[in-house]
Amino acid sequence: MEGAGFFEGAEKLLEVWFAPSKTNGDLRSINRKGWDELLQLVKCQVISERHCKQMDGYLLSESSMYVTERRFILKTCGQTTLLSALDLLLQLARSVGFSEVENIFYSRKNFLRPGLQAMSHRSFEQEVETLDSRFSNGAAYILGRLNGDSWFLYTQDHDKPSDTPDQTLELLMTGLDKDVARNFYKDKYQNGGEVTRAVGIHELIPNADIDAHLFAPCGYSLNGIDGDVYYTIHVTPQAECSYASFETNVPKESYASMVTTVMSVFKPERLLCTLFTNKQSICLSPGMTFDKILGYKRVDNQMMQLNNEYELNLSVYVKDYS
């Protein structure tokens, strides 16, 4: 996040689940050298890391990486080349006993300036072509508005029901309140810990081990892990491209209160919200979670079922000045 000019905050998000290993494999046994080589291909690097019994969390120069026994999550912003990691990821996974991908999710919001991206990421069609060359039964979707807030998803079309509860909430916010955005410049606070406490982000998941970084001259990233639960926040505060994201897999019956809290911190002009839940999740009626957010009106809402396993809800909100 160097420089205070334009920065593409919208992340590319890759989540890969590997089928259980017959040899008791564990992705966390991949050494740091392997991860560093993978991230070098993506054009980012590890800033710091946290570990607990169920998960390793890596704070990156461009966003975050999480690794569990058989799940890999990589989220990168800016002009990173995330899909360049695919071949080495599959190779590293095989080296620790994982020969089969159980499920894959690749998603992102539309970029403000797609022409600045590396060639393989300038269009979703190019990304789909790259993914189709590595995975069978790919299914690609575009949700939202083609002339507004849109969101792209690639997954696999299969009938492999999971016995593991899974849910992911992601909030993608643009047009941050100017006073809020000033908190994420280094001339106001000296480090990530100061910002985290000042704006109240540390209370979102109270028991999480938090790893936060404030970039110079601006920009902010946070990883939090608690057992097999994670949450991550990334902020691009520049006025011409202000953006913040919040993502978590914490299990809840309803996320309404959490969404309201996050929105009260960042006060964005617009929000694109996605919620994935599978049949084992405790979340009740995902589509009802986001009926109302105080001070905002919902302008789009889409629901769909994926793989006969996941339910996906996407909603777009704008600030209500009426």
Instruction: Tell me which residues are annotated as active site.
Output: 8, 11, 63, 77, 221, 234
Asked if residue 55 lies in contact with residue 232, where contact means CB atoms within 8 angstroms, the answer is: no
Question: 86-95 vs 32-42: helix axis angle to the nearest 10?
Answer: 170
Whole-angstrom CA distances from 122 to 65, 75, 81, 91, 116 are 22, 17, 10, 26, 8
CB atoms within 10 A of CB 170: 22
214: Cβ contacts below 8 Å, ≥ 6 apart? 184, 186, 189, 190, 191, 192, 194, 195, 220
The amino acid present at 24, given as its one-letter code, is N
Burial readout 74-104 (b: 16 or more C-beta within 10 A, e: otherwise): bbbbbebbbbbbbebbbebbeebbbeebbbb
Reference 237, options 163, 164, 307, 174; nearest CA is 174
